[in-house]
């Protein structure tokens, strides 16, 4: 994480409605294609972004997403940052458990998203909102 440096080409999108989740997905996909991620990695990253964007919308009450191309000298990657000012997550371990949901979903979004990406970083607390940063590197 420390080695990676942002290319400076950050694109931000608001997440306030269902259509925005689709927009985030499309942006992440086009950036992943441009960074020459394999088809499997593209699909994994897009799916993770889709889960996290929906979490931002449903649990965080809306927020924003920032997509950037990063490099660590050898490889390119795509980093997506999600932020909301929602209620935050009180029990992170519980939230990261497969099958646990506070809503009506399958309870796999957050834990599944972590397995789909190479780097997963979450910063949250009760009343402090939630910020999730994920990175997927090209092989």
Partner 1 sequence: MDIGTTTQFAGLLRDHRDELLKRWTANAGTGLRGRLAEAELARQIRELYDALRGTVVTEGELTLDSPAAVELRAVLGELSRQRALHGFTATETAISVFALKEAVLGVLDAGESGSLRLFVAVSQFVDELGLFTFEAYSRTREALIAEQAEQLLELSTPVVKLWDGVVAVPLVGTLDSARAQVVMERLLQTLVDTGSPYAIIDITGVPAVDTQVAQHILKTVVAARLMGADCVISGIRPQIAQTIVALGIEFGDIVTKASLADALMHTLRAGGFELNRRAVRRD
Residue in this structure with the two tokens 């092989």, named with its chain if needed:
139
Look at residue 2 and give its three-state secondary structure. Answer: coil
Question: Which of 20, 25, 70, 83 forms a contact with partner 1 (CB under 8 A)?
Answer: 25
Of 60 and 109, the one with the shorter C-beta distance to partner 1 is 109
CA distance 5 to 110: 25
Q: Counting contacts by CB under 8 A, is residue 22 touching partner 1?
A: yes
**Residue 15 backbone phi and psi in degrees, to 5:** -120, 100
Torsion (CA) 42, 62, 87, 59 in degrees, nearest 10 = -60
Of 7 and 58, the one with the shorter C-beta distance to partner 1 is 58
CA distance 82 to 107: 19
Q: Counting contacts by CB under 8 A, is residue 29 touching partner 1?
A: yes
Q: Counting contacts by CB under 8 A, is residue 116 touching partner 1?
A: yes
Q: Counting contacts by CB under 8 A, is residue 139 touching partner 1?
A: no
Contact 47, 37 (CB under 8 A): no
Compute how many residues bind partner 1; rule: CB under 8 A.
Answer: 24
Least distance to partner 1, CB of residue 109, Å: 5
Q: Counting contacts by CB under 8 A, is residue 135 touching partner 1?
A: no
Q: Counting contacts by CB under 8 A, is residue 108 touching partner 1?
A: yes
CA distance 30 to 19: 17
Length of the chain equals 139
Residues that bind partner 1 (CB under 8 A): 18, 22, 25, 29, 39-40, 42-44, 46-47, 50-51, 54, 98, 105-106, 108-109, 111-113, 115-116
């Amino acid at each position: 994480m420390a080695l990676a440096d942002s290319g400076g080409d950050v694109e931000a999108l608001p997440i306030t409605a269902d259509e925005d989740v689709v927009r985030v997905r499309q942006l992440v996909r086009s950036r992943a294609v441009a960074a020459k991620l394999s088809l499997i990695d593209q699909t994994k990253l897009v799916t993770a972004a889709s889960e996290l964007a929906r979490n931002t919308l449903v649990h965080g009450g809306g927020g924003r997403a920032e997509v950037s191309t990063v490099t660590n000298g050898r490889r390119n990657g795509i980093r997506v940052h999600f932020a909301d000012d929602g209620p935050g997550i009180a029990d992170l371990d519980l939230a990261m458990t497969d099958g646990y949901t506070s809503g009506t979903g399958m309870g796999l979004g957050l834990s599944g998203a972590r397995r789909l990406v190479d780097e997963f970083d979450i910063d949250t607390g009760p009343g402090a909102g939630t910020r999730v940063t994920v990175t997927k590197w090209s092989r």
